[in-house]
Structure 1
Amino acid sequence: MRKILTPGEQLIVATHRHERMLVLPAVVLVVVCGAGAFAAGWLSRGHLEQTFPWLPPGSRLWLALVPALLGLWILLGYCLRELVAWRSVTYVLTSRRIMRRERGIVRRDRAMPLSLVRDVNLHQGFMQGMLRSGTITLTSGQSAQLTLTDVPEARRFSQFILEAIEELPEDVSWPAPGDEITDSSDESLPWELRED
């Protein structure tokens, strides 16, 4: 995380999306494992051969593999994919900018300097309000927009954004390419390191 920070920039918060995204995949994991184990046991005892006597007698072991393979396909295709999707998105708030980083098969970074933020909009649906998560939309005066979906502790996160904007120095500017960057590590910075 330190390598994405510019000199003098401090990390305030780094978080993933809310864990509620993992509830349905966890339920599917439990149901698929239980149903697959039950079906494999039922088939291995020969109950299907009693129902369908025309099946070859040696097919009992092969038929027991069908629910196991189907369950594995569901677990890899849905549960693991949802876990990777949740883990790959990170929201990073620093003393100068806010970033949405995606580190999956495709890497995407989207950042907005805090000096450009003109509006911080928090939207919470009913379930999001109960779980204290929400969607934060940051807009600038130049029609640029950054949306962070399913942010945990969304009200607190948006308050951190507002505090970081208030603490920006009046003459904040980004160095132009080729400009020398001065080290400001000895300056006192208004934020302490916070990680959720």
Structure 2
Amino acid sequence: MRRILTPGEQLIVRTRRQPRMLVLPAVAFVAVCGAAAFAAGWLWRGRLEGLLPWVPPATRAWLPFVPVAFAAWVALGYCLRRVVAWRSVSYVLTSRRVMRRQRGLRRLDREMPLSMVRDVDVRQGVLQGMLGSGTLTLASGHAAQLTLTDVPQVRRFRQFVLDAIEELPAAEWVPIDDDETITDFTDESLPWELRDE
């Protein structure tokens, strides 16, 4: 964590997404492992011979491994993949910026300096509201914005962001007027499409 902090920057909060996305993989893992264990035991006792007498006797010893292999495929292909996807994304709030870091097979970092933040928006669905999580959108007033999904304790995180913005030194805060007017009427002050060329 120290590697991403600049000199004088302090870590305020580091969190991961709400772990509700892990509920379905956990249920699937328990259900598939239980069903595979039952099926393997059932096949090991030779119960398949009455149902499917045409199965060759040489392959009957290997049949209990079929449900075990299926359970391993589900556990690795679905459950573990969802856990890795949840663990790979983290949200970091420092005294100068907000970051969304994704570490996995693909690395993707997005950040926004707190001095650019003009609007902090919180959206919550019904389930998110019950769990206290939500989607936090930081807007700069221009096209740039940073969206953090499934932030746990989103209202508290929002308050931390607002407090960090208030504590910014005056030299870092750059106010932006919504109705920027040009008072200097030289060619250099005009937007590029209005200049005489």
Tell me the residue number matched to 2:26. 26
Aligned-residue offset at 1:59: 2.0
Find the structure with the greater CA-based Rg. Answer: 2
Q: Does 1:49 align with 2:52?
A: no
Deviating beyond 4 angstroms after TM superposition, the runs of 4 or more aligned structure 1 residues are: none
Q: Secondary structure at the match of 2:22?
A: helix
One-letter amino acid of the structure 2 residue matched with residue 146 of structure 1: L
Q: Which moved more, 1:42-51 or 1:79-88?
A: 42-51
Report 1:77-156 matches (<5 A).
Answer: 77-156=77-156
Q: Secondary structure at the match of 2:59?
A: helix
One-letter amino acid of the structure 1 residue matched with residue 55 of structure 2: L
Tell me the residue number matched to 1:39. 39
One-letter amino acid of the structure 2 residue matched with residue 141 of structure 1: G
Q: Secondary structure at the match of 2:23?
A: helix
Which 5+ residue runs of structure 1 have no aligned equivalent?
174-196
Which protein, 1 or 2, shows the higher relative CO under an 8 Å CA cutoff with sep ≥ 6? 1
Aligned-residue offset at 1:56: 1.1
The CA distance in 2 between the partners of 1:49 and 1:151, in whole Å, is 53
Which 5+ residue runs of structure 2 have no aligned equivalent?
174-197
- In the superposition, the TM-score normalised over structure 2's length comes to 0.86
- Count matched residues: 173
One-letter amino acid of the structure 1 residue matched with residue 171 of structure 2: D
The CA distance in 2 between the partners of 1:36 and 1:52, in whole Å, is 19
Tell me the residue number matched to 1:58. 58
* CA RMSD across the alignment: 0.9
- In the superposition, the TM-score normalised over structure 1's length comes to 0.86
